Structure 1
């Protein structure tokens, strides 16, 4: 399939800026020659030659920036020929994409951490350009190619391009291909595992919005109706969510056997919210009866009275509600904007207009949302991973237990479905593993309540190339892996970190991975 992909049709627009480092003349010449080399292989429009580039904090690299498949904005960074480790990384993109962010920091839909380790790495905008990652006007103009690329086709297109560029610059294609993404990037990772299982040797997928229609549509409409009035005013203030967070943490912190200000077992948390009622005393941050009902509905998740339509917000995520769910300082919550974006696509309202979420009967619309054209294209809920197993690929999934945007319990239920579909947990574990991260919100967009930082590509690389599945991950609370810092032990689901009863709770060495009691 890879050899066929190399012949993909498209226009390649190459951009670059020259800033060669001393002693890299050979690489500079090879980089500049890329344009002519590629001219002999496929049609492209050259605006400026690819050029050796330096950015503070990064090794020198050959920068190739342009447009693939006629419309996918991309930037590929190729380390010096002597620095290349023989691997290619394709990053995902967040939200509804639309922006090219090659210098995005950290490990979420990012490329520079892997570039530093010798990877040839590519960032992209998934085939459209928008001023916001929650903007879906581009998907409502009758442009089916834009939707197809965003939903899934960008993957084979850019892997083919990665093969072409690495072969041209290094005179050989990559020996290993990896994908790493979070949120929508995590969805793309699962799309790759389910539909394109031979594209990558390893796939890292974090906080995946795998059930787009369920999470952004069903739960999104439910969430907007509970958190906002029909006039667009927030029902719950940041002061109230702060008090709610303290109450829930006090009630549920110790459910995992350790008091550390982290709710590591949110599925067991059943806090008594009546103590927050204003009828119990007019304290700052109290909630009236209607607000308490709305909060309970957010925890409960979308329902039709008899059936659970989608999981609810996890206890322990309250500190993140003002940003993702309830809004702050007069600004709408990002989760509300993203849900609105999906609902607009689902109803195919004209660009610039919007569906009124308050007018949606969530229960009545749930089935239709799951079979809408955009859901059929973009949902990544197929539990059959036989193609991944046959290809020998590895899938590293992770999700924050404190993620109020992409609901963690949906990822858990998908993984459990996949275990049943693929011969049981032990058989699936040879090719796919899920790590749930206590205190971690959504894709490191905010600091975790516990150490939650790790390089998923590095973990995945060790699995693919040593044939030993990860039995644990050590997370830290600073990007610098050499910094002396607190650590946490992350375990493959369904195992949990169990404290030894003696050591400091801020050290991974004080814990072991064990099955839940």
Structure 2
């Protein structure tokens, strides 16, 4: 969801670590060889400036559209590394160093004159490696993605794609947030909704290719898409709807089952509003009980629940029920019921896209990940600092704010709908229409596979912004549809235990983008990847590490330094 924007980290070289003992040690293979560098002719300043005012006709865009216009194109000086204070996430505090590049800003005209423009930014490095990376968005978008930030889940301190010679680009998805207006308001316009669902990413991709041809005299040899949360959904959407457009896609914590997620946000918020809201002390009470039941199950009592699925059978929330007056060291019946609700799947009672009807539950693990802005566990995503209000207020959990707004503007199409009495079945036709647009749950990736595309998905198992089990269920569905042998040729699913939606709570960063590039360009399947937890300031020291396990394997302690990946092995 949003509040994470698109920043979460980017790595530059593929780590192939096996059996090391020091937490930050990682033998690094040579990066995938760059293609021939293409300079922006002899005079980058003139070449860049000449792009301003250029029109890209709709005929160069592979989806019904108006023309695209380049509003400005300016050559940028190199910018140094900078680390700020008070950012919403550790990765968001880091502004990576950037090389000289041509910054192109533009917009794509709608067909409906009442629909907003699609804004985009394309960054053209003076020395190009022949590749491009499209950045995904976050939340309900409405903010221009610049393509300059760290990539999701990557190690801090590594060069971003632009610094490695990639063309990078992003979009606001076809609408702009406005003060005093709910972020979901745009969905009342059909073209704006279509753009948010999938069309804007296709249009911007095609426009970016046209800009590259104008600047360098040729298009990209390899195209990548990388996104997290909503951006992760966008990545999977591109693989499903536009399978010939990208060679490699990395999708982190994708809000893949979008319709189910919004209805789960409503259901879980109503459970809190019905007497189930818990204060921070009670959230910590649940977290401590989960750790007591499950932390040491992997052989290491280190504050990380490696196997939350197994934990479901060990953690019993009923043991926290108050036997006397309500207090911070126990839960009322309504609070116990709210926790059970969160952990349970929600059946919408409506047939959704691709044969789905229900959305998986969340937890346990990561309930009390420290909250600093929109970064931690239940307090950020579920409980907030006060019980859900009608209408939602900023002090509520993000899932309630997002889910309630989506119900109002996407499904009920009424900002005045009574959230307490809303039922999906009463709006079944509209719910199915939006599901067909928004849900990235089509398990048929055969066209993407035939094109030679590679896909990596990372789910954080302590995620309360969305259910990581939705992504796991999707991988299972692809295996059922295409067969395990075929899927293993192009699709990897990894999980990060105890990690929150935006990468806090446990080791969360890995060299996944370099692994994707090596898989696409060298045919070298990912192996030996390592998750690290780092300081968010230079020199970005590694505090602890774990092996990055391919699902359904999880880390198991085998002896040695608990802060070192080499002390753990991936086990079923």
2:349 paired with 1:301 = no
Query: Alignment partner for residue 188 of structure 1, among 229, 234, 244?
Result: 234
1:450-465 superposed matches below 5 A: 450-465=506-521
Matching residue within 196, 218, 225 for 1:179? 225
RMSD over aligned Cα atoms: 3.0
Alpha-carbon contact 2:68-2:107 (below 8 Å) kept: no
Contact 1:99-1:129 within 8 A present in 2 as well: yes
2:240 & 2:230 partners in 1: Cα distance? 15
Q: What is the aligned residue count?
A: 475
Deviates more, 1:484-493 or 1:92-101: 484-493
Deviation of 1:51 (Å) = 3.0
- Alignment partner of 2:435 out of 375, 381, 388: 375
1:226 to 251, 271, 286: 271
CA contact (8 A) 1:37 1:168 kept: no
Task: Check the 8 A contact 1:346/1:372 in 2, yes or no.
Answer: no
**Compared CA separation, residues 276 and 129, structure 1 to 2 (3 A):** same
Partner of 2:18 in structure 1?
none
Classify 1:192/1:481 alpha carbon distance in 2 versus 1 (closer, same or farther; 3 Å).
Answer: farther
- Asked whether 1:432 is paired with 2:496, we answer no
- Work out the CA distance in 2 between the residues paired with 1:389 and 1:275: 48
Q: Secondary structure at the match of 1:487?
A: strand
Does residue 241 of structure 2 align to residue 169 of structure 1? Answer: no
Matches within 5 A, 1:231-270: 235-269=277-311, 270=314
Structure 1's 176 and 134: CA in aligned 2 closer, same or farther, altered over 3 A?
A: farther
Quote the Cα distance in structure 2 between the aligned partners of 1:429 and 1:493. Answer: 12
Deviations 1:271-313 (A, max 9, x none): 12234223168653421122112222212232589x9932212
Per the alignment, residue 398 of structure 2 pairs with 334
Change (3 A) 1:280 1:86: farther
Aligned residue number for residue 94 of structure 2? none
The 5 A counterparts of 1:139-158 are 139-140=187-188, 143-158=189-204
Give 1:495's aligned residue.
Answer: 553
Q: Which of 309, 317, 321 is the matching residue for 2:378?
A: 321
Is the contact between residue 488 and residue 508 of structure 1 (CA under 8 Å) also seen in structure 2? yes
Query: Residues 356 and 457 from structure 1, CA distance in 2 versus in 1: closer, same or farther, beyond 3 angstroms?
Result: farther
Distance 1:134 1:200, change over 3 A: farther
Cα deviations across residues 232-274 of structure 1 (Å, max 9, x unaligned)?
A: x872212211111111111111223322211111111131223
Q: Residue 99 of structure 2 corresponds to which residue in structure 1?
A: 59
Secondary structure of 1:28 counterpart = helix
1:417-467 deviation line (CA, Å, top 9, x unaligned)? 11111122x3201111100111211133xx2x2211124322211211121
1:360 aligns with 2:422: yes
Which of 319, 334, 347 is residue 290 of structure 1 equivalent to? Answer: 334
In 2, the alpha carbon distance for the partners of 1:440 and 1:430 equals: 27
Instruction: Give CA-to-partner distance per residue, 1:21-70, whole Å, 9 cap, x none.
Output: xx998222221122366579986656544333443322221100121244
SS of residue paired to 2:238: helix
Give the 3-state SS of the residue equivalent to 1:155 in structure 2: helix
Q: What is the DSSP-based 3-state SS (H/G/I as helix, E as strand, rest coil) of the residue aligned with 2:323?
A: helix
Q: Give the drift of 1:73.
A: 1.1
Of 537, 541, 549, 1:483 maps to 541
Task: Name the counterpart of 1:120.
Answer: 167
* Gap regions ≥5 residues in structure 1: 1-22
Q: TM-score, normalised by structure 1?
A: 0.84
| SS of equivalent residue, structure 1 residue 278 | coil
- 1:197 aligned residue (206, 220, 243): 243
Residue aligning to 1:4: none
Of residues 63, 67, 72, the one that matches 2:118 is 72
SS in 2 for 1:357: coil
- C-alpha distance in 1 between matches for 2:318 and 2:185: 43
Q: Deviations over 1:177-207 (max 9, x none)?
A: 0000111111111111111111000011111
Match of 2:185 in 1: 137
By percentage of residues, which structure has more helix? 1
Q: Deviations over 1:120-140 (max 9, x none)?
A: 101211001114897111111
**3-state SS, counterpart of residue 34 of structure 1:** coil
Change (3 A) 1:131 1:301: farther
Q: Is the 8 A contact 2:302 2:562 kept in 1?
A: yes
- 1:58 to 1:89, Cα distance in 2 relative to 1, 3 A: same
CA separation of 1:223 and 1:294: change in aligned 2, threshold 3 A: same
Contact kept? 2:153, 2:509, Cα under 8 Å: no
CA distance in 2, matches of 1:369, 1:473: 44
User: d(CA) in 2 for partners of 1:234 and 1:64?
Assistant: 50
> Structure 1: how far apart are the matches of 2:336 and 2:474?
30
